[in-house]
């Protein structure tokens, strides 16, 4: 594609860092937006810009193409900015949690699913009104670089306690997808002319049971898997205590119940339109943090 300027919202996030690395290989200039200051990281093709809590349409150079890898529910805050910059195409990262958590027993998870769905609808409505092309990408369980809240958290529990608790048989199917593969899909969706009003599910290159996924994390740390089966009622009692600790504040009984639910999605559309070919679930030391 000819050289354009690409705006990246959430550029300092896990997926955002991979998006920036991939864009460095493309004939484009990048304005990387983040709420945190990024000192001394500008380059010939990349410039960082800090965003406030609510974005004002400050004078910025024209930016026709945008990739949003910040939580999609914050994107509507920046519609005025995108419009002021002359946005013509927006690719936004959502999540398959909009499906899997919509009927959760946990009210916080229900709210998350609702936030995701509402943000997708608001993007579609805004883009239609302003004649902007849009694409939404919904990854499954993202991991990578030891910065995720999924595989990296499992690895931390294993390092700390030497075992990992499972509830029931823990045979619910999972499709972990690496952050770099998600970033590649974002860049290709940006480039693909056929992506103008479409949502894609992004699942990993391998489907495996939850307990097998955890066993892979043990193996990646050169440990023999020690999987402790815990009755769900015990976990329900322990959850309020665990949530007193900052690291486990997001834990809930619903998380335990999902260990036995299949969370599987087809990424055939993304393979067809974006050449999406995710890697198998093979963990590097870097992925474990």
Q: Which of 39-43, 65-69, 84-88, 98-102 has the lowest mean pLDDT?
A: 39-43
**pLDDT, tens only, 249-270:** 666 667 778 899 999 999 999 9
Distance CA 273, CA 8 (A): 22
CA proximity to 72, closest of 23, 106, 36, 121: 121
Torsion region of 63: left, alpha or beta (phi above 0 gives left; psi -120 to 50 gives alpha): beta
Position 40 scores a pLDDT of: 63
**pLDDT, tens only, 123-149:** 999 999 999 999 999 999 999 999 998
Position 144 scores a pLDDT of: 97
Distance CA 181, CA 144 (A): 10
Containing structural domain, residue 155: 4-288
Position 55 scores a pLDDT of: 54
Compute how many other C-beta atoms are within 10 angstroms of the C-beta atom of residue 149.
12
54 pLDDT tier (thresholds 50, 70, 90): very low
**pLDDT, tens only, 142-185:** 999 999 989 999 999 999 999 998 988 899 999 999 999 999 99
SS3 content of the chain, % helix, strand, coil (to 5): 40, 20, 40
Helix runs in the chain, H state only: 14-23, 79-84, 97-100, 107-129, 151-161, 179-191, 210-220, 232-242, 253-258, 268-274, 285-288
Our count of domains for the chain comes to 1
Average pLDDT of every residue of the chain: 90
- For 93, the enclosing helix (H) or strand (E) is strand 89-93
**If you average pLDDT over residues 184-194, what whole number do you get?**
96
- Give the pTM: 0.91
**If you average pLDDT over residues 26-45, what whole number do you get?**
85
- For 45, the enclosing helix (H) or strand (E) is none
- Are the C-beta atoms of residues 176 and 151 closer than 8 Å to each other? yes
Q: Say what percent of the chain tops pLDDT 90.
A: 73
Per-residue exposure over 218-231, b if at least 16 CB sit within 10 Å of its own CB, e if not: bebeeeeeeeeeee
CA distances from 62 to 6, 66, 254 (A): 9, 11, 45
Q: In sequence order, what are the residues at sequence separation of 6 or more whose Cβ sits closer than 8 angstroms to the Cβ of residue 99? A: 113, 265
Residue 239 has pLDDT above 80, yes or no: no
Chain centroid, CA 208 distance in Å: 19
44 pLDDT tier (thresholds 50, 70, 90): confident
Residue 2 has pLDDT above 60, yes or no: no
- 193-194-195-198 Cα dihedral, nearest 10 degrees: 160
Position 253 scores a pLDDT of: 65
Residue 93 has pLDDT above 50, yes or no: yes
CATH of the domain at 209: 3.40.50.720
């Amino acid at each position: 594609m000819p050289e354009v300027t690409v705006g990246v919202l959430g550029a300092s996030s896990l997926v955002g860092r991979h998006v920036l690395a991939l864009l460095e290989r493309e004939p484009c200039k990048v304005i990387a937006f983040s709420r945190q200051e990024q000192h001394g990281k500008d380059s010939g093709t990349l410039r960082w810009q800090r965003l406030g809590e609510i974005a004002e349409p400050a004078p910025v150079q024209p930016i026709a193409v945008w990739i949003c890898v910040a939580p999609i529910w914050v994107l509507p805050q920046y519609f005025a900015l995108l419009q002021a910059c002359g946005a013509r195409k927006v690719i936004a990262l959502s999540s398959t949690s909009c499906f899997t958590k919509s009927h959760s027993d946990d009210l916080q998870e229900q709210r998350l699913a609702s936030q995701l769905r509402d943000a997708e609808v608001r993007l579609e409505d805004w883009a239609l009104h302003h004649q902007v092309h849009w694409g939404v990408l919904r990854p499954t369980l993202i991991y990578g670089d030891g910065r995720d809240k999924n595989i990296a958290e499992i690895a931390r529990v294993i390092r700390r306690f030497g075992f990992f608790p499972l509830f029931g048989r823990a045979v619910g199917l999972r499709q972990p997808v690496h952050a770099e593969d998600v970033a590649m899909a974002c860049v290709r969706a940006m480039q693909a002319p056929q992506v103008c009003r479409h949502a894609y599910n992004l699942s990993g290159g391998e489907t495996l049971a939850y307990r097998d996924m955890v066993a892979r994390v043990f193996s990646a740390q050169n440990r023999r898997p020690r999987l402790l089966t815990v009755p769900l009622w015990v976990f329900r009692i322990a959850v309020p205590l665990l949530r007193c600790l900052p690291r486990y504040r997001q834990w809930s009984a619903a998380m335990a119940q999902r260990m036995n639910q299949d969370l599987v999605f087809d990424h055939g559309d993304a393979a067809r339109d974006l050449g999406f070919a995710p890697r198998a679930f093979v963990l590097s030391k870097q992925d474990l943090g």
